[in-house]
Amino acid sequence: MTDIQVTHSDHGLGVVTPAGRLTMVSARALTEAVASLVDQGTSRVVVDLGETTFIDSSGLGALVAGLKRCRQAGGDLRIARPTAQVTAVLAMTNLDKVLTPRASVDEAF
């Protein structure tokens, strides 16, 4: 079971941390977590992928949907701490150009 935790950093960022597998099973919960942050006025969001053991195309779709949502609200979505599998999938789908991985949540913005 994938657990998606949402917190706020000291700098006013939303931090979303999906732990476990990010597939069709959990992608909608990630999309909703980001949308909910934006609706509440937080449009600068970091998705911390340090505990994401596996991502598939549904998970990528949720990240892209979240990115669009944040940008429409004048903010941005960035990803931090991707695991080897996440990094490989981003490269294979050419999404590493729009979702540039950052080394840590603090360095994301």
Partner 1 sequence: MATAREVVLEARPEDIDVLQDVVADLWESEPGVADTERMRFEMALVEIFTNVVEHSERAQHGPPRRRVAVTLTVDDDRVQAVLVDDGRPAAVDLSSVTMPDADATSGRGLALAISAVDDVSYERDGDRNRWTVTCRRGS
- Residues in contact with partner 1 by the rule CB under 8 A: 1, 21, 23-25, 54, 56-58, 60-62, 64-65, 68, 84-85, 88-89, 92-95, 97-98
Q: Residue holding tokens 């999906």?
A: 18
Question: Least distance to partner 1 from the beta carbon of 62, Å?
Answer: 8
**Residues 100/82, Cβ–Cβ less than 8 Å:** no
Specify the 3-state DSSP secondary structure of 91: helix
- By beta-carbon proximity to partner 1, the closer residue of 9 and 87 is 87
Minimal distance, residue 11 CB to partner 1, in Å:
27
Closer CB to partner 1, 27 or 105, in the complex: 27
